[in-house]
């Protein structure tokens, strides 16, 4: 439950909810299932599956989960430093590339899209400059 005395604002909660295990699992599972529906050319189902559960889980975590431990964790410190709107955009673009690849049955697009998502998540580790 939310610690009402918490000093986390909505911006912080929005940042740190991204590393909650339920959020990560939801994004990965629904993302994969969404790709299946893109592959089958069921656009509306693919978009609903890929977007709606993640939005619901995000809302619930941001509203009702105490994220202080995530903020204090090593991963929390990492995303505080390296996660921004450009990284979020790169992750979304990576999934969009994967979706286009699935739609056209072009696995050669799915792999780089997945790589782009991993690169967005881990760019601070890979290109760590002080």
Tens digit of pLDDT at every position of the chain (130 positions): 444 436 789 999 999 999 999 999 999 999 999 999 999 999 999 999 999 999 999 999 999 999 999 999 999 999 999 999 999 999 999 999 999 999 999 999 999 999 999 999 999 988 875 5
In a domain, 28, yes or no: yes
In a domain, 5, yes or no: no
State residue 92's pLDDT score. 97
Indicate the number of domains in the chain. Answer: 1
In a domain, 99, yes or no: yes
Nearest alpha-carbon partner for 85 in 9, 7, 10, 11: 11
State residue 4's pLDDT score. 45
In a domain, 1, yes or no: no
In a domain, 4, yes or no: no
State residue 129's pLDDT score. 59
Residue 27 host element (H or E)? helix 21-39
State residue 6's pLDDT score. 60
Instruction: Tell me if residue 107 falls in helix, strand or coil.
Output: helix
State residue 130's pLDDT score. 54
Tokens read off for 59: 């809302």
Residue 44: burial class (beta carbons within 10 Å; 0-12, 13-18, 19+): exposed
In a domain, 2, yes or no: no
Residue 61 domain boundaries = 10-126
State residue 5's pLDDT score. 38
pTM of this prediction? 0.89
In a domain, 116, yes or no: yes
In a domain, 85, yes or no: yes
């Amino acid at each position: 439950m939310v610690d009402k005395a918490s000093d986390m604002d909505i911006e912080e909660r929005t940042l740190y909810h991204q590393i909650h295990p339920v959020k990560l699992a939801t994004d990965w599972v629904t993302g994969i299932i969404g790709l299946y529906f893109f592959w089958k050319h069921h656009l509306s189902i693919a978009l609903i599956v890929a977007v709606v559960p993640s939005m619901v889980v995000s809302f619930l975590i941001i509203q009702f989960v105490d994220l202080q431990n995530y903020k204090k964790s090593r991963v929390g410190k990492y995303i505080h430093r390296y996660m921004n709107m450009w990284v979020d955009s790169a992750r979304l673009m990576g999934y969009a590339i994967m979706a286009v690849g699935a739609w056209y049955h072009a696995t050669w697009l799915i792999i780089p899209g997945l790589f782009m998502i991993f690169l967005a998540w881990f760019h601070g580790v890979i290109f760590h400059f002080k």
